[in-house]
Structure 1
Amino acid sequence: MEVFSEYLIFSARYDVSMVTELDDSKPEIKAVTLDLWETLLLERDGANEQRNLIRCRNLARALSKFGVKISVDRLISVLKAMTPWLLTVWEKNREVTHLDQIRFIIKAATDGSVSLREEWLDELSSAYVSAIYELPPYLNPDAPQLLRWLKDHGKKIGLICNVGRTPGFILRRFLKDEGIGNFFDVMIFSDEAGIRKPHPEIFRMAARRLGVKPSEIIHVGDNLRSDVWGAKNAGFKAIHFSTRKGRDTIAESDPNSLISISRKLGGLKEEEIIPDRTITSLAMAIEGIEELER
């Protein structure tokens, strides 16, 4: 009876319904982070293979200036043989810079008889990374609409990207050239961070730089393991951008490609990775974000 009396006194002083509402409230969403490849930037079928051919042609041409003769076919063969090494490093959520990739290629293509010299770096780096401009991906047509909506609604915007063969400094420039670079408050590229998604630290790094708690951030991306599982492990909410095409189609056509490898879930099962929302177009992210804020 005494306890009940205390409850009546409490009820008289405070609106109990308000207490319940506070308990059920959701954290305000203050920021949204986005994946890059096959979320903001899309690939045409066969683009990666063609871009690798361009890289090898450019490298062969650049190396010849320094008196190193390596055929394009040999470079292509080595580029493909590099995949298991990349996979070994990536499985540890670590990154391989484009310069380390070039070092691997030259050493393997010459059976160790030639090493990358300091004075060659600029020329060979340019040859390797310029392929994205010679055969560019295309901007998701829904990307500008989503980015403008986020800015108009006061959300901070971050980019969290696992790079492959194109380094962050080139991707940053490419996004600026595409007219969307200035939307981002923070851009994090795995080669600059030294760590890859799905490791939660790369997401926490984004949260720190945005000045926002992980629980106040939604991440949007196409990869279940890297984007959804990684983001949720870091305390973010996650929206899965699933189109059942794009990289999924490319991965099925070439199971040994880097795209296919990035799609693998490791020891996880797809049904174990549960996004907060699933969308089939980037424009739908607006509705998904609004739903998660209610």
Structure 2
Amino acid sequence: MFEYQVTDIFFDLDHTLWDFEKNSSLTFAKILNENNVGVDLNGFLEVYSPINHQMWALYRENRVTKSELRYQRLRRTFDSLGHRIADETIDLLAHEYIEHLSSFNHLLPNTIEVLEYLRPKYRLHIITNGFQEVQSKKLRSSAINHYFDKIIDSETAGVKKPHPYIFELALEQAKVEPHKSLMVGDNLEADVLGAKAMGMQVIHYNSNLEAVHPECITIHDLIEIKTIL
């Protein structure tokens, strides 16, 4: 299946292991209700989700800051919904969203089974574009932190996937050559093609229904990894 023997597997976190959409929905249900923000949750999420993806794309390209990301994704959502809301309330919601997000711990299907299967055979690591404090809390609250040897986040690295340096840093910390490593992630550009450009082997976990890349192994359920490795 792979050209070289794999010794180390690097996973993305959000949308790959940690069920970002579900946990985010539960977080918004909590903070919108507690702050008496009168919007329909499903309608809010339908508008928010693509805006959030757009803002993260800008953040990966260093076109917005962390604070701009957190404010603008909410401001643009409420503006699109035609819902008047004060900046002070948006700032409060942005703060509470980050505070409570990692308290929810739903994982994507078959995460634990696959990690249990892989852990005795490979060294496992995380490379994530999230913020250090938040991502660490997610790993702890979902009780999967013990599976991973190295956890590399973009905030600590100073660059975001697909920048080569974050992969270089991960490989250096894990003390593994690129061709002996495997990257598993949901984002074709940031995770898969970014790692592939570094000489790493790759699996695209296509949980976002992106276009299939002809030169990448594609799966639609984590359990498929058991038939590959």
TM-score by length of 2: 0.70
Look up the equivalent residue of 2:198 and give its one-letter code. Answer: A
1:176-223 per-residue CA deviation (whole Å, 9 max, x = no partner) reads 232210111111122232222222222221111100011110111122
For 2:18 and 2:53, the matched residues in 1 are separated by 25
Structure number with higher relative contact order (C-alpha < 8 Å, ≥ 6 residues apart): 2
- Which residue is 1:28 aligned to? 5
For 1:174 and 1:87, the matched residues in 2 are separated by 18
For 2:94 and 2:166, the matched residues in 1 are separated by 25
> Secondary structure of 1:139's match?
coil
For 1:103 and 1:140, the matched residues in 2 are separated by 27
- Which residue is 1:150 aligned to? 118
Deviation, structure 1 residue 157: 1.0
Deviation, structure 1 residue 278: 2.0
For 1:174 and 1:156, the matched residues in 2 are separated by 20
Deviation, structure 1 residue 234: 1.3
- Which residue is 1:40 aligned to? 17
Look up the equivalent residue of 1:31 and give its one-letter code. Answer: D
Structure 1: stretches of 5+ with no match in the other structure? 1-24, 61-70, 117-122, 249-262, 264-269, 290-294
Task: Give yes or no for contact 1:35–1:220 (8 Å, CA) kept in 2.
Answer: yes
> Secondary structure of 1:138's match?
coil
Task: Give yes or no for contact 2:24–2:101 (8 Å, CA) kept in 1.
Answer: no
How many residues are treated as equivalent by the alignment? 213
Indicate whether 1:90 and 2:59 are aligned.
yes
Look up the equivalent residue of 1:32 and give its one-letter code. Answer: I
Look up the equivalent residue of 1:36 and give its one-letter code. Answer: L
For 1:151 and 1:170, the matched residues in 2 are separated by 24
> Secondary structure of 1:203's match?
helix
Task: Give yes or no for contact 2:183–2:201 (8 Å, CA) kept in 1.
Answer: yes
> Secondary structure of 1:201's match?
helix
Look up the equivalent residue of 1:160 and give its one-letter code. Answer: I
For 1:213 and 1:50, the matched residues in 2 are separated by 40
Task: Give yes or no for contact 1:228–1:239 (8 Å, CA) kept in 2.
Answer: yes
For 2:160 and 2:86, the matched residues in 1 are separated by 30
Task: Give yes or no for contact 2:10–2:182 (8 Å, CA) kept in 1.
Answer: yes
Name the % identity. Answer: 24
The structure having more radius of gyration, on CA atoms, is 1
- Which residue is 1:140 aligned to? 108
Deviation, structure 1 residue 55: 5.5
Task: Give yes or no for contact 1:228–1:274 (8 Å, CA) kept in 2.
Answer: no
Look up the equivalent residue of 1:173 and give its one-letter code. Answer: K
For 2:190 and 2:136, the matched residues in 1 are separated by 20
105, 126, 131: which one aligns with 1:159: 126
